[in-house]
Structure 1
Amino acid sequence: MGFYIRPKRRPQGQKVTRKLDITKLKNQLTAQDLQSRMDSKLLDIRSDQSSIDEQWESFRDTVHSIALETLGQVTRNHQDWFDENDQEIQKLLEEKRRLLRAHQNDTTCTAKKAAFNNIRSTVQAKLRLMQDAWLSAKADEIQGYADKHDTKKLYEALKAVYGQQFSFGSTPLLSSDGTSLLTNKRLILERWAEHFNIVLNRPTQINEEAIARLPQVPTNHELAVPPAVEESWYQCKRPIS
C-alpha cells in the first residue's frame, strides 16, 4: 500500500486588485473607445438572474474587464532612470544574454568570450550614459521648480524620484552605546530625541577676550524707529526676486 503525504498548503494572502490607469482617459479617443465598448457589452448583460447579487457581480465583472482591457493597469509612481529608456535597454540586455549563453555553451571558444566581453563593456557604458542624462534632466527640472518657488511641483518631482520614504518612527536604530537594535516605535522616537538633543544643545565655551577684541561700531538708533506706513506698503508690493 502506498501512502501519499499531501504537503501543507501555504496560506495565501488576499489578492489585491491593481488600480486602473485612469490617466489614459485624458485622451479623447481612449475615452470614446471605452464608452463604445461599455455600451455594446452592457447590453448583453442578462437581467434575469435569480438575485440582485448575481446581477451586481455580472455588472461589476463586465465593467472591470472592459476597463482593464482598454486602460490597463497603473504603473508605479516611483521613477527610475531606466523607465524612459526601457526598450533600448531591453535590446542591449537581450543581446548581452544571447552572447552570454553562447559563451557558456562553448567556453573554449575565444571569439565568443571576446564578443561577450565587448557587449558587456558596451552595455555598461551606454547604461551609465543613460543614467547620467536622465539624472541631469531631472535635476534641471527640479531646479526649475525651485527657482520658480513652485513648492508643490518641487516636492512632487522629488517624491517621484525617491519614492516612498520611511519615517523616523519605523526604521530600526542602534542604541546610543551601539550594543542593541531598537525596534519599538516609542524607543526609536526617544533615541531620535536624544540624538538631536545632543547635536543641537552642545555646551558652548565663549572666549571673553576674543569678544573684547572685536571692533566696536557706534549704535545706529535709526534702526529702532518704526517704518512709515508708506514704506511698509511699498515693501509689501515689491515683487519677490
Structure 2
Amino acid sequence: MINSTWRRSLLDVKVKRGADVGSDHQLITAFIQLKLRATGKKVPLRKCFDIDKLEDIKVKREFVIKLQNRYQVLKNSVRDENETLDEKWNEISDIYTKCSEECIGYKQKTKKKDWITPETWNQINIRRQAKKKVNDTKSSRLKDKYQQDYSDIHRNVKTLVRADKRRFMDNLADQAEEAANKREQGNLYKITKIICGRGKSSPNIPVIDKQGNLLTSENEQEKRWAEHFSEILNRPSPKELPTIPEPNIELEISIEPPTISEIFINDVSNGVYISINSDKGETTNRNTEDNTTSRK
C-alpha cells in the first residue's frame, strides 16, 4: 500500500466509513510524518457568500423580505444628527451581511460544479444523510432497509446529475452555435475548450523579453507586448514591387453605371413593381406586400 521509502513515516491508518462516494469500497486516511520546511503564517481567506442560491425564487424572495424588514426597522429608529458617513455605511453593511448569513450562507471550501442545479445538490445532501443512517445503525434488519433506501436515492442522484450535465452541454452547444453565427471566434474557442474538457486557460502566462528574461512588472509586460505586435504588424515596405502581368484574355465586363432597366429587374426580384413612363420622365414604385405607391 505504501512505498518502502515512506514506510517509516507511516504513523496510523483510519477507515472513513461515513464517506459518501457511492461505492462498496471504504476510504482510508493515512497519517504520515514528514519533514517540511518552515513557512510563513497563512492569511485567512475572505469568506464569500453563496450568491448562486439567489437564483432560486424561494431563497430570493426570503432574502428580499428580510432585507426590507431590516430597512424598515432602520428607517423607524431614532437617528443621531451627528452620525458620520462611515457609521451609516456600517449599519447598511451589517444589514446586508446578517441577511446574507441567514438566507444564503457562505460558499463551501470544496469547489462545486457549476452545472449542478440546487435540486440535485439537495438530493445529494439527502443521500449523505441516508449513508449516515446505514453507518450508525446496529440492527442488521434496519441496515438492509437503510441500504436499500440509499441505493434508491443514489440511483436518483445519478439520473439528476446526468440530466444536469446534458442540459449544460446543450446550452454550451447553443452558445457555440450563436458565437459561430456572429463570427465571435474568441468565444467560440473558449466554449469549445470547455466542451472538450480541457479546462480554463490560466491568465497568468509568463512574459519574457528577447533575451529570455522574465518580466514581472505590468509596465514591462505591456511594453513587450507593444514591441511584439509592432514588429509583426508594422512590416517595412518591400524593396521590389511585385510585377503583375497583363491578362491574356479581356473579359467582357461592363464598368458603366447601371441602367434603369437593370434597376427595374433588380427591384422586381425583391418584390417591388416599377412602371417606367419615358414620356413624362416619371417612375411609379409599388410594393407588392403593403400595396404602397410612391411617385418620383
TM-score (norm 1): 0.43
Higher strand share: 2
Q: More helix per residue: 1 or 2?
A: 1
Higher radius of gyration, 1 or 2:
2
* Higher RCO (CA-CA < 8 Å; seq separation 6+): 1
